[in-house]
Amino acid sequence: MSEKDQVLSEAMNFLEYAKILGVSEVTRQPPKLELHNEELSKTRNLEEISKVIGDCKRCKLCSDRTNIVFGVGNKNADLMFIGEGPGRDEDAQGVPFVGRAGQLLTKIIEAMKISRDDVYIANIVKCRPPGNRNPEPDEVTACMPFLIRQAQLIKPKVIVCLGSVASQNLLGVETKITSLRGNFTSWQNIPVMPTYHPAFLLRNPNMKKPVWEDMQKVMEKLGVSPA
């Protein structure tokens, strides 16, 4: 048996044992903060983070991008939305959530009696994955420290993760979005509400209802009263 097969077999035995003990789910560790990157941990505002990012070439997404999509909104926002990564429109304009899915997100925010300018919106990766594919693990690893620092400086009262890529990467889990959505979890002491991505809602309008239920929980947490 090769060394790799040996390790796999031991891991399988361990998981079987854990299952007998009642463990039903094994999660990855949450992404490392990587703020041992001294330059990043010293940043005091979003402009400084942007300067550290510079003309980023830390992952392969740099080769096809038009613009780095840093994030947009109120730097003191109570509410932060995190999406997956820029699409074509966002790449062209350098602003997150400006395409069709973005317009729907804006409608959702406004239905919450909040202005889009009052929230902060960013993505797991800041450069467009080609063909709108999901960001790959090395791309997420390269980019997430900047998002983490943005969240640390903004200090929102609630984070909403839009879709499975945002939810799974921020929370460091592989749980399906159907199970995650609708329940608050915590990330760095900030309540996180995973919900469906607006692009998914465009394809599945009947899923707008559960998203609205999730947003009502967010409004309650923020103390925003419905109309």
Binding residues for ligand URA (CB under 6 A): 83-87, 90, 96-97, 99, 101-102, 123, 199
User: What SS3 class is residue 18?
Assistant: helix
Q: Which is nearer to ligand URA, 70 or 97 (CB)?
A: 97
Minimum CB separation of residue 85 from ligand URA in Å reads 6
Minimum CB separation of residue 65 from ligand URA in Å reads 13
Minimum CB separation of residue 86 from ligand URA in Å reads 5
Structure tokens at 128: 């467009």
Is 44 in contact with 75 (CB distance < 8 Å)?
no
In DSSP terms, 80 is beta-bridged to 120, 159
Q: Which is nearer to ligand URA, 35 or 200 (CB)?
A: 200
Packing angle of the helix pair 100-111, 208-222 (nearest 10 deg): 50
Minimum CB separation of residue 41 from ligand URA in Å reads 26
Q: Which is nearer to ligand URA, 99 or 145 (CB)?
A: 99
Minimum CB separation of residue 89 from ligand URA in Å reads 7
Nearest residue by C-beta to ligand URA?
A: 83
Strands of the 120-123 sheet, one edge to the other: 72-73, 120-123, 79-83, 158-162, 190-195, 185-187
In this structure, are strands 120-123 and 72-73 parallel, antiparallel, or unpaired? antiparallel
Q: Which is nearer to ligand URA, 31 or 86 (CB)?
A: 86
37-42-48 Cα angle (round to 5): 100
In DSSP terms, 185 is beta-bridged to 192
Minimum CB separation of residue 202 from ligand URA in Å reads 11
Secondary structure element (H or E) that encloses residue 121, with its range: strand 120-123
Rounded distance, CA 217 to CA 15, Å?
A: 35
Measured CA distances, 193 to 57, 86, 183, 216 (Å): 31, 21, 6, 11
In DSSP terms, 121 is beta-bridged to 72, 81
